[in-house]
Amino acid sequence: MQPRWLDDEERAAWLRLVGVVELLPGVLDTQLRQDSGLSHFEYFSLAMLSEAPDHTLRMGALAQRTNATLPRLSHVISRLESRGLVERSPSVKDRRATNARLTAAGWDTVVAAAPGHVDAVRQFVLDPLTREQLRELTVIGDALLARLDPEGRMFGHVIERPTD
């Protein structure tokens, strides 16, 4: 079978998406490290815990929501634990599972980091777009996530998917 090469319009769109995918994480990571002493992944992990009931998630669920492997997540949670931001404990419902819970210090940290992070998201992603482009980005994101994450494991808890 012959590859379906990209035409000029597809290539232009693809290269721009690659540029965003490659550059945006570094920009967000730099802002968070400078302002809060957190990596973007650490902040994202804390934010997912901050949104969970009782600020607690099983490690497996947190791994899904952060798109991390359990070993990577465990390493990051260990670092956050050593800073007093998260604590781990066996699940009451299933002793084989481990829960991660945001501590009061973790809550204070994510609350303090959020304004600077939101400012960076606005500056580099939202503000350059018109409202119409923002709606288009949402539709585009839904279309891509439908293929990349059809079960909604990563953001299914916060993103409403169109039912078509």
**Domain residue ranges in the chain:** 36-148
Residue 75 is which amino acid? H
Q: What is the pLDDT of residue 133?
A: 97
The pTM of the full predicted model, rounded to 2 decimals, is 0.86
Between 158 and 154, residue with greater pLDDT: 154
Q: What is the pLDDT of residue 25?
A: 95
CATH of span 36-148: 1.10.10.10
Residue with tokens 């992070």: 117
Rounded CA separation 161/46 (Å): 24
Specify the range with the lowest mean pLDDT, choosing from 36-40, 77-81, 91-95, 126-130. 91-95
Rounded CA separation 112/42 (Å): 14
Q: What is the pLDDT of residue 164?
A: 44
Q: What is the pLDDT of residue 140?
A: 95
Q: Compute CA distances 21 → 44, 58, 103, 118, 149, whole Å.
A: 16, 28, 32, 18, 17
φ, ψ (nearest 5 deg) of residue 100 = -115, 135
pLDDT in tens, 89-123: 998 888 789 999 999 999 999 999 999 999 999 99
Rounded CA separation 83/86 (Å): 8
Per-residue pLDDT averaged across 72-90, rounded?
97
Q: What is the pLDDT of residue 142?
A: 92
Q: Is residue 78 predicted with pLDDT exceeding 60? A: yes
Q: What is the DSSP string of 68-126?
A: --HHHHHHHHHHHHHTTSEEEEE-SS-TTSEEEEE-HHHHHHHHHHHHHHHHHHIIIII
Q: Is residue 68 predicted with pLDDT exceeding 50? A: yes
> Which two tokens mark 134?
């923002």
Percent above pLDDT 90 for the chain: 86
